[in-house]
Amino acid sequence: MLRNGLTVAVAFLFAFVCAGAGDTTSFLQTHYYLLSLGQVAADIDSIRQEAQSSGYSLITYSDNSAEAWRGGLVVETAPEDVLADERLLAVDGERFLLRQSEAAYAFTVRPAESGYELVIDPHQDQAMADVLGQVLGSLQSLGILGDELSLDVRAYAKDDVKGPPPPIDVAIDSTLYGLSVARDWFDYAAQKGLTRVGLRVEVVAEVLPGASLAGSFEPYIVDGSATAVKLRLPIEQLLALARSSGVGYVREPYRPAVP
């Protein structure tokens, strides 16, 4: 557990173990990296105000609707047009995703199973200290960093066409697992044809005989029966759903074939 804001950037650098990347002091352009941030320090309203004052585009989701702003002005075209903007804050209820693109890298803060995670997407090989010093400084200015950070790191190859396989103990479709660890949730969902609404995705949980879905997932139920339940689930809860007792498998909804 590490404290004191930006000093964390130096303190943990040489403790990183970048599985699969082959280098523990550099971010490689062939990989992207997921780091655990834990809980954020600020509430969603404060983050929204700081982000908009810092030039971020904003999109907010509510049920099936969305509204977007650039420079404080409502976007008159499709709200999701702002998803390609270099500075973006997406708000879905009390959850948010923040993304910023720079010449040498892009970074994203998004919900994780426990708190939030940081995605680093380097555009060239560069020292971890340089990137993390800049990124953590940006997050601190937005009030996103707390007093304590518990950071570990996972590295994924960008050119891995099949994507990482799901863990053995997680009964989930490989495409949905790929979404959970994708460097860009929005782009991945669009490429794979997944139905995404805000920071949620439509899935089906196949329920084991005689079992039922855990109560914590009930707010996300769209439709279902005794054997299969359709949910619009927060993306970061995909693995929790697949691991939950009573669920045999988590998959995409079946879609009618086009004749």
Structure tokens at 177: 């697992």
Q: What is the pTM of this model?
A: 0.89
Give the DSSP H or E segment for 45: helix 44-53
174-251 is classed CATH 3.30.70: yes
In this structure, are residues 171 and 205 in contact, taking their beta carbons and an 8 Å threshold?
A: no
Q: Are 109 and 16 in contact (CB under 8 A)?
A: no
Mean pLDDT of the chain: 87
pLDDT of residue 84: 94
Residue ranges matching CATH 3.30.70 in the chain? 174-251
- Alpha carbons 192 and 81: distance in angstroms, whole number: 19
Give 150-165 pLDDT, tens digit per residue.
557 889 999 988 888 9
Query: How confident is the model over 136-140, as a mean pLDDT?
Result: 89
- Residues pairing with 126 in the sheet: 27
